[in-house]
Amino acid sequence: MVRYTPLGNGRLIAAFDSNHWIVDFYYSKAARDNHAIGHPFMFGISVDGQFRWLDASVLREMDYVGDTMVSRALYAPDGLGVEIMTKDFVDLLEDVYARLITVRDLSGSRRKFSVFMHQNFYIYGNDIGDTGIYDPALNAIIHYKGARYFLASAIGEDNVGIDQYAVGIKERVGLAGTWKDAEDGRLSMNPVANGSVDSVVGYSSDLAPHGSKSLFYYIACGPDMRSVTSLGGSLSWGRLSSMLRRTSNYWDYWSSRRSPRLGGDYPYLFKRSLFILATHVNAAGGIAASLDSDQLKINRDGYYYVWPRDAAISAYALSMAGHSSTATRFFDLMESSISDEGYLHHKYYVDGKLASTWLPMVMDGHTIANIQEDETALVVWSLGEYVRRRNDVALLAPYYERLVIRAADFMAGFVGDDGLPKESYDLWEERYGIHAHTVAAVHAALEAAAWMAGLFGEDDRAARYRATASRMRDSFSAKFYSKDVGRFARAIIRGKPDFTLDSALLAVPLLGLIDPIDPRVESTVGQLRSRLWIRGVGGLARYEGDRYMRVKDDQSIPGNPWTITTLWLARYYLRAGDMPRAMEALDWVASHSQGSGVLSEQVNPYDGSPLSASPLAWAHAELIIALVEMDERLSGAPQGVSTVASGAGP
Amino acid sequence: MRAISITVGKPGVALRDVPEPQRRKGEVLLRTLYTGICGTDRGLVNNQLPFARPPPGSGDLIIGHEALARVEDVDPGMKIRKGSLVIPMVRRPGKCLNCLVGRQDNCSDGDFVEAGIRGLDGFMRDRFTDDPTYLVRVDDESLGMLAVLTEPLKNIVKSYDVYDMVSRRSITSCRDGSRSCLTVTIAGAGPIGMLFAMMFSSVGMDVRMFSRHDPEGKLAEMASRIGAEYFIREDRSKPVPQSDVFVETTGSPDVVIDGLRALRPNGTMILFGTAPMGSEGLTGQDVIDVVERNITIVGTVDGAKEHYIRALSYLSSWKDSFPGVLKSMITSVVKPEDSIDALTARPGGEIKTVIGWE
């Protein structure tokens, strides 16, 4: 399910469903733990005794406010004679989520209203041993467990606080939850509950005819009771107004660093992609693949991890957009995560701890490398691009020995007799073999490492990396291309080429392994477009016969169209100088973004609706990269093909 | 339903009864709330614009390109929802590279269409359908009728962007990094001139503006509320003050030349107004001055979607920072049935006439 308008500050992240209700609420010093895991924090109103939940059926607008990481929603419930506008934000500096709620009378008569805000915490991702308690001194509800404390309350523009509350048991012994208590417009004032707990706070006031009233609802977060009560107790109308202003101003300025000179919705999508990507970056340098927890319901595992591949592309996108300092923290994390052998593992928690995996260490009785080598490669390549774009060798120095050299030595040694990388898992995490995408990534990484070694005067090392990369390229040409088939193989598995059409082959030109206008590349891409472009709904499928998240068995559909693969196609055509086709692919992505600019991993091939993780950080990163490359190309300064990858230096 | 249309190639305008639009899948059905009348509409009505053309297969053209509309019907799941207020964009892309990337405001070959002007029916009608790609949502609904100024203002926002870009070729900012030491002179005090004045005033520049008449002193008063200095310049005997930027909104060649001659070194001439009449020659000395003083002359037309979005943001901000000014720019609101006179000739004292459709 799509998470709209995510908001965050690196420690606290709030994400919303189609009702604009919080459904994911991450908080820790590295935003590691999700304390909602898909369970909604409902929002309702009672006007002159008539109650209703404010959900998608009455939600007229939901978007970010201008170019800021402040979200805006407008609810227009039929028959109540009021409209409700909200502005949500996560404060830039303090761990506070807040919602400015403005209720406006449309009926022309005096009204009485109460708004109800529901807290549905699953602290640390479960509902065992939670406490919810009303604190009369602070006129607030506090939910807590372990080292996670959340203080929820509201305050009006007249500095009057909540007048109702209720804490209770949810989803146990026949109890739906405390939210049910709000539906009669009055809360029970039950002050405490433990176990599986939810709570509701209510704020009441009246409206003059055609008048409006505003209040802030807020959740302050802290690691202990003292810090959360101190923070929560300091939140006045004035302080929250000031937080809204500083957060709004900061993101407006932050997003103005670069804007592509494309028209239509692209400037808007570019900035929203930057915000959305920024919410996935935490204070420890982790860049999560997606904060959408929906997958947990199906697989009991999700996307809220750092895949070095996704994160490296995201860091590259951020540096292209001028936000290098954000990217720096990621390289810090990778430097501390890389193994002694010089490779990166499958994935990590957002604070750098090793995460779950499905890659085995044994296959057919033999020990294998349970890695995807392109992940290690793309981190090195991304760092090279980062340094090249900033033209600042000082940025490289802290990472050179412990990250670049260690990884490049591993990659230069993890090579078979034929000069190709040894077998590892592919980027789709499905097959073990030698993959075209991995070859392209390792080649680009070795070229980047050679260039970086050259910057430090290590010419012998640079020559060794470059020679390995050169041999890899030659071997790839010899072993992966078939004149008979007229395209490159996507992989060599158990010694045999696999000619399944796979969008991952686009890495061959995009990572500079072979020129985009080489006839072999043109022929390969021509076949990819012809066979993987989805008739009707459009977009490029991952590969022929892709079963992942299939909507139904249908031979006419090669697989669901993916956002990143379609953006690769756009970037390819941009480099090949075919602007109409580049724009066709880019326009497809733009037209399948959600109202707040959110991009999903996949799209339903029948109705165009979003599928799988939404937002997907990698998709937003690829859009940023595509738009910057487009802007550079249109400016007459093409920089899309890295000079690092071609070995030419800065 | 009602629609205001012309027969292209003939002078005249009429309110006609036309069929209701049929919304196709993917399109949005819109109810027109307000449409603004501008000089282009009068040029069309009086058959003075050679580029006017009806939609393919028709001899008539529904005019109107400044509009505020409300979404009446839309497919489920679309980004724009029923009830939203929107501004429809005027220019629709052709096939050149600029059009391809959504910058049809910079169309390279003229192969575009413009709603209510060339090749596409406009918005002076009760309802119309449109592609959501060309709709800009109005977030600040408290703007109400003032949102109809978005379309003209987006031109000014783009003009300012163009000025900002070309002025970077030399150091034109003040010692403190601001533009407060720079002077801009605006020729023309109609709605476009006033919006230019607000734009330059809002970035701290010293704004002067002139027109030929201000019989009731309204223009001077409005300029004063913007923080600009207004003066009457009845003819060329009155000099144009020395400026760093000269904005020409009247389309008069002699004003262009006089403004050019009044530019300081590194100055910029922004040509915005157009008129099919008049001529005025450049002298050799003019050429020398343009060269020797690094003068930039730019023409700018229309705006991209982002300029519409920013125009809405400026309107929201200006309604507070220039209290009452935007409202006083709309000097008359008429019903469609009463709009023919205002469409044919500019009423005395008009700054902006708006047609209310509800």
Written in H, E and C, the secondary structure of A510-528 is: HCCCCCCCCHHHHHHHHHH
Average pLDDT score over residue span A567-572: 98
Quick check: B133 and A265 CB within 8 A?
Answer: yes
For the segment A503-527, the average pLDDT, to the nearest whole number, is 98
Q: Report pLDDT for A375.
A: 98
A263:B309 CB<8 A: no
Q: Which residue has the tokens 């390819």?
A: A572
Cα separation values, A247 from A97, A244, B225, B292, Å: 11, 5, 32, 47
Residues of A in contact with B105 (CB under 8 A): 263
CB distance A263–B305 less than 8 Å?
Answer: yes
CATH class of A305-499: mainly alpha
CB contact (8 A) between residue B102 and residue A263 = yes
| Phi/psi at A221 (5° precision) | -125, 145
Which range is least confidently modeled, A370-374, A387-391, B284-288?
A387-391
CB contact under 8 A, A609 and B77: yes
| A211, two tokens | 């008048």
Does residue A639 carry a pLDDT above 60?
no
Instruction: Please list every residue in chain B whose beta carbon sits closer than 8 Å to the beta carbon of residue A634.
Output: 97, 101
For tokens 């979607």, name the residue: B305
Min CA distance, B260 vs chain A (Å)?
29
Residues of B in contact with A19 (CB under 8 A): none
Neighbours of B31 (CB within 10 A): 16
Four-residue CA torsion sign, A571, A346, A435, A303:
negative
| Rounded average pLDDT over A414-425 | 97
Count Cα atoms within 13 angstroms, Cβ side, for A633: 24
pLDDT tens per residue across span A437-478? 999 999 999 999 999 999 999 999 999 999 999 999 999 999
Question: Which tokens is A490 given?
Answer: 């996507």
Sheet architecture: strand order including A43-47: A50-53, A43-47, A111-119, A197-207, A164-169
Q: Return the residue of B nearest to A586 by Cα.
A: B101
**CATH assignment, B170-293:** 3.40.50.720
List the single residue in A61, A66, A262 with the smallest CB-CB distance to B101: A262
In chain B, which residues have their Cβ closer than 8 Å to the Cβ of A264?
Answer: 101-102, 133, 304-305
Instruction: For residue B135, list its beta bridge partners.
Output: B88
Give per-residue pLDDT as tens, A33-78: 999 999 999 999 999 999 999 999 999 889 999 889 999 999 999 9
Tell me which residue of B99, B93, B77 sits closest to B26, measured CA to CA.
B77
Q: Which long-range contacts link A449-454 to residues 24+ away (Cβ below 8 Å)?
A: A449/A380, A449/A384, A449/A404, A449/A405, A449/A407, A449/A408, A449/A411, A450/A647, A451/A384, A451/A388, A451/A644, A451/A647, A451/A649, A452/A383, A452/A384, A452/A387, A452/A396, A452/A400, A452/A404, A453/A404, A453/A405, A453/A408, A454/A649
Question: Residues near A401 by Cβ (< 8 Å), separated by ≥ 6?
Answer: none
Assembly ipTM: 0.83
Distance from CA of B94 to the nearest CA of A (A): 12
Asked if residue A650 has pLDDT above 50, the reply is no
**A619, A624, A627, A628 alpha-carbon torsion, rounded to 10°:** -150
Taking contacts as CB-CB distances below 8 angstroms, the residues of chain A near B102 are: 262-266
Question: Which chain A residues touch B79 with a CB distance below 8 Å?
Answer: 594-595
Q: Distance between CA atoms of A620 and A601, rounded to whole angstroms?
A: 10
* Residue-level pLDDT at A463: 98
Contact residues on chain B for A265, CB-CB shorter than 8 A = 102, 133, 305
DSSP state for residue A501 in the 8-state scheme: -
Chain B residues with a Cβ under 8 Å from any Cβ in chain A: 77, 79, 81-84, 97-98, 100-105, 133, 137, 139, 304-306, 309, 313
Of all residues in chain B, the one with the smallest CA distance to A73 is B139
Domain-wise residue ranges, chain B: 2-149+329-356, 170-293
* Overall CATH class of domain B2-149+329-356: alpha beta
Instruction: Mutation target for A interface from B100, B165, B316: give the one with most A CBs within 10 A.
Output: B100
Question: Over chain B, what HEC string results?
Answer: CEEEEEECCCCCCEEEECCCCCCCCCCEEEEEEEEEECHHHHHHHCCCCCCCECCCCCCEEECCCEEEEEEEECCCCCCCCCCCEEEECCEECCCCHHHHCCCHHHCCCCCCEEECCEEECCCCECEEEECHHHEEECCCHHHHHHHHHHHHHHHHHHHHHHHHHHHCCCCCCCCCCCCCCCEEEEECCCHHHHHHHHHHHHCCCEEEEEECCCCCCHHHHHHHHHCCEEEECCCCCCCCCCEEEEEECCCCHHHHHHHHHCEEEEEEEEECCCCCCCCCCCCHHHHHHHHHCCCEEEECCCCCHHHHHHHHHHHHHHHHHCCCHHHHHEEEEECHHHCHHHHHCCCCCCCEEEEECC
Q: Which residues of A touch B302 (CB under 8 A)?
A: none
Domain spans, chain A: 42-56+70-117+126-254, 305-499
Q: Which residue of B has its CA nearest to A264?
A: B102
Find, in chain A, the residue whose alpha carbon is nearest to that of B309: A66
3-class secondary structure, A238:
helix
Q: Do A261 and B103 lie within an 8 Å CB cutoff?
A: yes
Q: How far is CA A403 from CA A314, A339, A380, A463, in A?
A: 18, 10, 8, 19
Of B82, B84, B100, the CB nearest to A580: B100
Assess contact for A143 and A153: CB atoms under 8 A.
no
**Contact at CB, A61 and B84, closer than 8 angstroms:** yes
CB B124 within 8 A of CB B336: yes
Give backbone dihedrals phi and psi of B237, rounded to 5 degrees, phi first.
Answer: -70, -25
Beta-carbon contacts of residue A11 (< 8 Å; ≥ 6 apart): A27, A28, A29, A30, A31, A95, A221, A282, A283
Determine the length of chain B.
358
Please tell me the predicted confidence (pLDDT) of residue A642: 44
Would the CB atoms of B102 and A634 count as touching at under 8 Å? no
Where is average pLDDT lowest: A103-107, A138-142, A499-503, B211-215? B211-215
Q: Tokens representing A523?
A: 């022929």
Question: Are the beta carbons of A60 and B84 separated by less than 8 Å?
Answer: yes
Say whether A60 and B81 touch across the interface (CB within 8 A).
yes
Q: What is the pLDDT of residue A645?
A: 39
- How far is CA A333 from each of CA A172, A277, A636, rounded to the nearest angstrom? 41, 17, 36
Q: What value does the mean pLDDT take over residues A490-495?
A: 97
Q: Which residues of B touch A63 (CB under 8 A)?
A: 137, 139
Which long-range contacts does A159-162 make (Cβ < 8 Å, 24+ apart)?
A159/A236, A159/A237, A160/A203, A160/A205, A161/A203, A162/A201, A162/A202, A162/A203
Q: How far is CA B66 from the centre of its chain?
A: 9
Fold of A42-56+70-117+126-254: Beta-galactosidase; Chain A, domain 5 (2.70.98)
Q: Which residues contact residue A69 at a Cβ distance below 8 angstroms, ignoring those fewer than 6 apart?
A: A7, A8, A89, A90, A247, A251, A275, A278, A279
DSSP code per residue over A435-478: EHHHHHHHHHHHHHHHHHHHHTT-HHHHHHHHHHHHHHHHHHHH
H/E segment holding residue A312: helix A308-320
On chain B, the residues whose CB falls within 8 A of the CB of A579 are 97, 100-101
Q: Which of B79, B83, B103 sits opposite A263 (nearest CB)?
A: B103
B255-264 per-position pLDDT tens digit: 999 999 999 9
- Nearest in space to A448 (alpha carbons), one of A646, A639, A314, A315: A646
The Cα A443–Cα A426 span in angstroms is 15
Q: Specify the residue for token string 């269409």.
A: B113
Query: What is the distance in angstroms between the Cα of B103 and the nearest Cα belonging to chain A?
Result: 5
Give dist(CA A269, CA A590) in Å, integer: 8
Say what the pLDDT of residue A605 is.
Answer: 95
Q: Which two tokens stand for residue A178?
A: 């405390």
Q: Do B139 and A72 touch (CB under 8 A)?
A: yes
Residue in chain A closest to B99 (alpha carbons) equals A263
First CA to last CA distance, chain A: 43
Asked whether residue A648 carries a pLDDT value surpassing 50, the answer given is no
pLDDT at A31: 94
Which residue ranges of chain B lie beneath pLDDT 50?
A: none
AA letter at A44: G
The single residue listed with the structure tokens 């000269």 is B246
Degrees (nearest 5) of the Cα angle A350, A356, A357?
125
Q: What type of residue sits at position A125? A: G
Say what the pLDDT of residue A647 is. Answer: 38
pTM comes to 0.91
CB within 8 Å: B133 and A267: no
Cβ B79–A595 below 8 Å, yes or no?
Answer: yes
Q: How far apart are CA A248 and CA A90, in angstroms?
A: 10
Chain A contact residues (CB < 8 Å to B): 59-61, 63, 65-66, 72, 76, 259, 261-268, 579-580, 583, 594-595, 609, 630, 634
Question: Using CB atoms, which residue from B82, B84, B305 is nearest to A265?
Answer: B305
Residue numbers in A near B81 (CB within 8 A): 59-61
Contacts of A466 (CB under 8 A, 6+ apart): A446, A447, A450, A647
What chain B residue is nearest to A596 in terms of C-alpha separation? B79
> Does the pLDDT of residue A644 top 50, yes or no?
no
Q: Which residue of A has its CA nearest to B308?
A: A264
CB-CB under 8 Å, A580 with B101: no
Question: For residue A297, what pLDDT is reported?
Answer: 67
Residues in chain B closer than 8 A to A583 (CB atoms): 100-101
DSSP secondary-structure letter at A272? H
Tell which of A4, A61, A63 to mutate to test the B interface (max B CBs under 10 Å).
A61
Chain B residue numbers with beta carbons less than 8 Å from the beta carbon of A266 are 101-102
Place of tokens 């205002």: B342
Tell me the one-letter amino acid at A11: R
Distance CA B144, CA A453 (A): 62
Interface A-B, measured as beta-carbon pairs within 8 A, has a size of: 57
Name B265's Cβ contacts closer than 8 Å, sequence gap at least 6.
B293, B294
Separation of alpha carbons A557 and A233, rounded Å: 57
Shortest distance between the Cα of A641 and any Cα of chain B, in A, equals 21
Q: Tell me whether residues B101 and A263 touch, CB distance under 8 A.
A: yes
Mean pLDDT for A384-405 is 91
CA-based torsion, B128, B120, A261, B148: positive or negative: negative
List the single best residue of B101, B105, B157, B309 to mutate versus A (max A Cβ within 10 A). B101
User: Inter-chain contact A60–B101, Cβ cutoff 8 Å?
Assistant: no
Q: Residue A587: which of B93, B350, B22, B43 has the closest Cα? A: B93
Task: Tell me how far apart the alpha carbons of residues A626 and B62 are, in angstroms, rounded to a whole number.
Answer: 39
Residue A66 confidence (pLDDT): 87
